[in-house]
Amino acid sequence: MLPTSLTACDLRQILAFVAETIGREEAYLNSLDAAIGDGDHGITLRVGFNALSGKVSSLPDDAGIDTVLREAGLAFMGATGGAIGVLLGRMFMAAGLALKGRQEIGPVDFRTLLGAMETALPSAGKAKPGDKTILDAVHGANQALITSGGLEQDLSATLTLAGDAAQRAAESTAQMLARIGRASRLGDRVLGHPDPGAVSFSIILRAMAEWLRRQAGSQG
């Protein structure tokens, strides 16, 4: 049976699973970044998520969801450099603030989490949808949940829908020009190459959905 909500303990395990997934995808993410950046996106994500996972695993047993997300963001920012460290770090911290006091994350709470992440991005990176950044995947996932309806009782369906939408949005960035950041200097040479940040965010969401499916399998 699939979980209908996530506890703070579940969230720690999910973040550890995401860290493992990012580690496996490191070379792929580096290759995407090499086409339009400096080729270290996968390395940065691995370092950041390893630090994040280590930090949340060491928190007190009674740490709430908001604390786990806040400390995850701080750990990611502290371990990484460059724009992605700030962006993902602030996204996690904004999600923690939005879920302050919540004991569990259900489908509606997850939509709140994604909405807070999207809101945090423009202020941190000055981007908007269509600029070929991580925001495109976050926005795609968020919009899919806003317009879906009928998922209030199904967390697995919510996460799967968000992950699939983020993946489609990340793929669509291959047809976009980069409006900000290092890649913006390359002009139309970025066409045909998806944004690494958008791709990595889709991997994060799909890993979360996969963790839920595995939990159901282990209990079946």
User: Is 96 part of a structural domain of the chain?
Assistant: yes
Residue 2 DSSP class: -
Q: What is the pLDDT of residues 100-139, one digit of tens each?
A: 999 899 999 999 999 999 999 987 667 789 888 999 999 9
Cα–Cα distance for residue pair 30/34, rounded to 1 Å: 6
In this structure, which long-range contacts are made by residues 55-62, counting pairs with CB atoms below 8 Å and at least 24 apart in sequence?
A: 56/11, 56/12, 56/15, 56/16, 57/12, 57/16, 59/12
Three-state secondary-structure class, residue 203: helix
Neighbours of 177 (CB within 10 A): 16
Provide the CATH number for the domain around residue 87. Answer: 1.25.40.340
Residues 6 or more apart whose CB falls under 8 angstroms from that of 134 comprise 84, 87, 88, 121, 127, 195, 197, 198, 200, 201
Nearest-angstrom CA–CA distance, 39 and 58: 31
Output phi, psi for 151, to 5 deg.
-110, 10
Does the residue 135 lie in any domain?
Answer: yes
Separation between Cα atoms, residue 122 and residue 161, nearest integer Å: 23
Domain coverage including residue 206 = 8-219
Q: Residue 3 falls within a domain, yes or no? A: no
* Per-residue model confidence (pLDDT) at position 151: 60
The answer on pLDDT for 184 being more than 70 is: no
Q: How many domains in the chain?
A: 1
- Higher local confidence (pLDDT), 204 or 187: 204
Q: Check residue 218 and give its pLDDT.
A: 67
Q: Which residues pair with 105 in a beta bridge?
A: 6
Backbone angles phi, psi at 17, to 5 degrees: -65, -40
Predicted structure pTM score: 0.93
In a domain, 1, yes or no: no
Tell me, what's the pLDDT at 82? 81
